[in-house]
Amino acid sequence: MHNDLSIAGLVLGASLLVKLIMLILLAASLISWALIFTKRRQIGRARAEMEAFEDEFWSTEDLTRLYNRIASHGDDTTGMERIFEAGFREFARLRKRGGLDVADILDGAQRAMKVAVSRELELLEASLPTLATVGSVSPYIGLFGTVWGIMNSFQALGNVHQATLAMVAPGISEALVATAMGLFAAIPAVIGYNRYASRIDLILGRYDIFVEEFLAILRRQAND
């Protein structure tokens, strides 16, 4: 049993299983931090693009021209642009078909936009379950490493006649490092998950409001 109580010494002196657990927790921490920065960029870009499109949408007087511009971009469109494009395309298609009343046309446009909103939500929520998993599982993985390390420390005392605190302190310390690493991996993941989940809810709320406002505009156009 070693007496080096530095962090590096405790990690290097840990048992093979505890080292494996620490390695798993380190990998989980690196993955969660990578996802945190990736989601930050993605959600920030989605909010900026949404606000830019809303400014353009409410300042335009020709929705057909706006639709043609967005449709010409192909796949290079933003979230709210795709929602607008889906609704206006379905509205124009059903209106051109003829034989349908205004309610049916608007219902079709609303369904198309709801599907588009669901797809945008799926893109925004990608990787969030991974953050939730890291945040919920990491403390238990670290606790398992701690229990295993402490168990080994006390088992080693069975071979001595007189146990002292100095004999068990290094083993217990290295075991507690696993718990610390579990918390180090879990806390940022939980904070990131809660932060981005709330921001996604705000974006989704803006999408839903836009759908209702756009439907009101389409209703006026259909009645003209």
Q: Which token pair is 200? A: 């996604």
144 is a domain residue:
yes
Let me know if residue 11 belongs to a domain. no
9 occurs within a structural domain: no
pLDDT per position in the chain (224 positions), as tens?
445 545 565 566 666 777 888 889 999 999 999 999 999 999 999 999 999 999 999 998 889 999 999 988 877 788 899 999 999 999 999 988 877 788 999 999 999 999 999 999 999 999 899 999 999 999 999 888 888 777 776 666 666 566 555 555 666 777 777 888 899 999 999 999 999 999 999 999 999 999 999 999 999 887 76
Tell whether 87 is covered by a domain.
Answer: yes
Domain total for the chain?
A: 1
Position 86 in a domain: yes
Which residue, 83, 75, 72, 80, is CA-closest to 52?
80
Between CA 170 and CA 177, with CA 174 as vertex, the angle to 5 degrees is 145
Q: What is the pTM for the complete model shown?
A: 0.82
Q: How many CB atoms lie under 10 A from the CB of residue 214?
A: 21
Domain region containing 186: 16-223
What DSSP character marks residue 6?
Answer: S
Cα separation, 15 vs 148, whole angstroms: 9
Residue 185 counted as domain residue: yes
Indicate whether 156 belongs to any domain.
yes
3 is a domain residue: no
